[in-house]
Amino acid sequence: MSEAGGVHAGLAARHPEVRYLRDLLRDRATRLDGNQCVAEGPRVISAALDRGAMIEAVYVADGATRAFSNLLDRLADAGVRLELLREGVLEKIGTTRSPQPLLGLIDLPAPVAVSDLQTDGCILVLCGVSDPGNFGTLLRSAEAAGAQGVISCGGGVDPWNPKVVRASAGAIFGVPLVEDGDPLEVLEMLSSRGVRALGTIARGGEAPDALNLATGVALVLGNEAHGLPEEVADLLDGSVTIPMAGVSESLNVGVAGSILLFESARQRAAAV
């Protein structure tokens, strides 16, 4: 039995594929072992499709085929397998307060190394950033600002956590992403390639417009609560502080990183 757009008969909550989706949404080890992640919602799935992500299958909530027929047609034309979920299944496996009507099963991109990144622009280094919303926001800003790539190191949130994927609005499938555990090795590799590493600090650093952020630079952001570890700070070539009015102590790491990424983009545009 099939529905409009090539969707096949509905899967129950105990179906092996549904159980796998649930595990992918909740368990980092499952994502690593399967080399796959889940994108929740039509917006993120459409963005992944636009960026050439390898979408293995999309699972459709009961009754959602008509509402998203255009997207489902695009997915079918791209050779994506479409599966209908029985009523109530999404409520049992989804991670959002209001379950998304579509779930995409997507292969993780091929691994990217620090040495693969271009150095004629700006690279974003996230050292221990732990909040999924911040990480996703920074991925989205990095892509929009034309950054050469994002490096995740020093622990922190799994970049393929479904909340990160959702917050990135699909940018995670478009911006080069390096997953490297040791921030000291990352900074040493960048330095060997002539890249200056600038740490972001709440006060005492230079103003963004006083620094060359246009090219050959890595912006290094630390953990939301603890900032950059001392051993990482010792390897930096300088620091940058965003001037603020009033009595605010600091900016959210997602906001601060986004401001600096777009200042870098502004400087590159001005140099043309």
155 plus 237 within the same structural domain: yes
Domain containing 59 equals 4-107
Answer whether residue 257 shows pLDDT above 80: yes
Model confidence band, residue 97 (pLDDT cutoffs 50, 70, 90): confident
Domain end point (choices 56, 87, 107): 107
Domain end point (choices 107, 138, 164): 107
CA 141-144-147 angle, to 5 degrees, is 80
163 plus 220 within the same structural domain: yes
126 plus 200 within the same structural domain: yes
Q: DSSP states of 41-76 as a string?
A: SHHHHHHHHHTT--EEEEEE-TT-TTTTHHHHHHHH
99 plus 123 within the same structural domain: no
Model confidence band, residue 233 (pLDDT cutoffs 50, 70, 90): very high
227 plus 260 within the same structural domain: yes
Per-chain mean pLDDT for the chain: 93
Structural domain count, the chain:
2
216 plus 92 within the same structural domain: no
103 plus 168 within the same structural domain: no
CATH at residue 81 = 3.30.1330.30
Determine the pLDDT at residue 4.
44
171 plus 257 within the same structural domain: yes
CA 244-246-251 angle, to 5 degrees, is 45
Model confidence band, residue 99 (pLDDT cutoffs 50, 70, 90): confident
More confident residue, 3 or 251: 251
CATH at residue 192 = 3.40.1280.10
37 plus 166 within the same structural domain: no
253-264 b/e (C-beta count within 10 Å ≥ 16 → b)? bbebbbbbbbbb
180 plus 230 within the same structural domain: yes
Task: Give pLDDT tens digits for 6-26.
Answer: 555 699 999 999 999 999 999
